Amino acid sequence: MLPRQKRQVTLLMFLGTLACVLPISSVSAGLQNNQRKPDRLPRMELCAVLRDSEFYNGKQVTVRATFRLGKKQSQLYCMACMEGGRVWMRELLPSSGEVAPGLRKLNDLILENETGITVNGIFTGTFRGAGQYGRLGAFTYQIDVQEVSEIELVSASGIDPEDLSREMQKKVCH
């Protein structure tokens, strides 16, 4: 083989190797970028989750909703989708046992208002699809809430959403 041919063969082998290595490293970099978790889940309306409950079943969601705790019942709701089914809120404690700041704040509000409470907020947790949840299985859905934010006290009573005055209905999730 002539020296010029040797250089061409060597160059072709180098370029061939380079052509194989570059796509692999760029695919690996792309996979690493896709594996990052978003800092926050996109916020959506509770009604959107209920409309597509099969899709969201078992998934983490962040929803805007109203939470009420009355003498006999509690629930997450929005007035616009009350006919879509009742949603039970179950608080989940992390394995470390440390309560998230938002849940701590909500629990403090509940303790301060022994007769009941209604709050608006942003609730993050795992959505559970159609089934029987909560007290006596009276709820169609459940959200295993791990964090609450943007809590706004609406009322120091946990009145049933169906019994809210028109003025109060304007203050809760709709």
Question: 118: which DSSP letter?
Answer: E
> At 104, is the secondary structure helix, strand, or coil?
helix
**Which regions in the chain score pLDDT beneath 70?**
1-40
Residues 6 or more apart in contact with residue 25 via CB below 8 angstroms: none
Tokens encoding 5:
């041919």
Q: What pLDDT, on the 0 to 100 scale, is given for residue 99?
A: 85
Q: What's the predicted TM-score (pTM) here? A: 0.74
Residues 6 or more apart in contact with residue 13 via CB below 8 angstroms: none
Residue the block writes with tokens 């926050």: 40
Q: What pLDDT, on the 0 to 100 scale, is given for residue 40?
A: 60
What are the tens digits of pLDDT across the range 93-136?
Answer: 777 778 889 999 998 998 898 889 999 999 999 999 999 999 88
What are the CA-CA distances from residue 167 to residues 64, 111, 155, 170 (Å)? 20, 26, 12, 5
